[in-house]
Amino acid sequence: MVAPKSSPPRHALETREILLEAAGRIFARKGFRAATVRRITREAGVNLAAVNYHFHDKRELYTSALKHAHQAAARTAAADVAGTPEKRLLLFIQGFLGYLLDPHRPAWQGRLIAREIAEPTRALDRLVEESVLPVKKRIAGIVRDLLESRASEARVRMACCSIMGQCLFYVHCREMISRLFPEHRHKPEDIDVLAGHIFSFSQAGLAAMRRQSVAGQKKSASVRRRNTKTKKPHE
């Protein structure tokens, strides 16, 4: 009698990926505190020792799953290209929307990030430091170039939040949008249309901010000139 062939051993990297996917799904449903390592390893089809080998403990597994969920967005930070600020802004919006609305993106990834933001753990600080800050630095640099150094850091911050917020709106509010506008459906071919709209809308807003900054500088200069003229000379 021929003995049945045993399945080939899993490669270490494959096991790590399987664990991350299983952990991400369970953490997204249960949250960090309610999820158990035993439940995760059962879903992944690996033994408990695999978690210790690859991640040391539950907290590190959670942090790694969170970073794994955000890695595609983090890659947009490295996708900056040479060109005009306008071109770079459009490409940033297209890349960010493409990540957010990717139909092949596992649903658990968005849910896990949303849960972490709503119920933050210590992992959020690491996620921001290692994955989110590079994205923020890229969009802030583009915005500064578009404002031509005429705006304060507070205005740069508000402009960045407005641009990112428009993109995130179509993800977090998609169920509401589909009910308010039944004809609106997120399809891959719609990304360029949405990106073009957000780009045009943001560009108009940034242009208005530039005009306000110029007007403010002119007003300040005029006040300084008046004060200089009316100031009495020292006796």
Domain ranges in the chain are: 70-226
Spatial distance between the Cα atoms of 121 and 115, rounded to a whole number of angstroms: 10
Residues 23-73: tens digit of each pLDDT: 999 999 999 999 999 999 999 999 999 999 999 999 999 999 999 998 877
pLDDT at 229: 65
Distance of CA 147 to the CA centre of its chain: 22
Topology, domain 70-226: Tetracycline Repressor; domain 2 (1.10.357)
Is 80 exceeded by the pLDDT of residue 151? no
Contact partners, residue 130, CB within 8 Å, separation at least 6: 67, 74
Q: How buried is 25 (Cβ within 10 angstroms: 0-12 exposed, 13-18 middle, 19+ buried)?
A: buried
Q: What is the pLDDT of residues 197-230, one digit of tens each?
A: 999 999 999 999 988 876 656 655 565 666 676 6
Per-residue HEC secondary structure of 106-158 comes to: CHHHHHHHHHHHHCCCCHHHHHHHHHHHHHHHHHHHHHHHHHCCCCCHHHHHH
Answer yes or no: are the C-beta atoms of 113 and 66 closer than 8 Å. Answer: yes
Count Cβ atoms within 10 A of the Cβ of residue 55 and give its class: 0-12 exposed, 13-18 middle, 19 or more buried: buried
- Concatenated DSSP letters for 183-204? T----GGGHHHHHHHHHHHHHH
Rg of the Cα trace of the chain?
A: 25
Residue scoring higher pLDDT (166 or 233): 166
State both tokens at 31.
């949250």
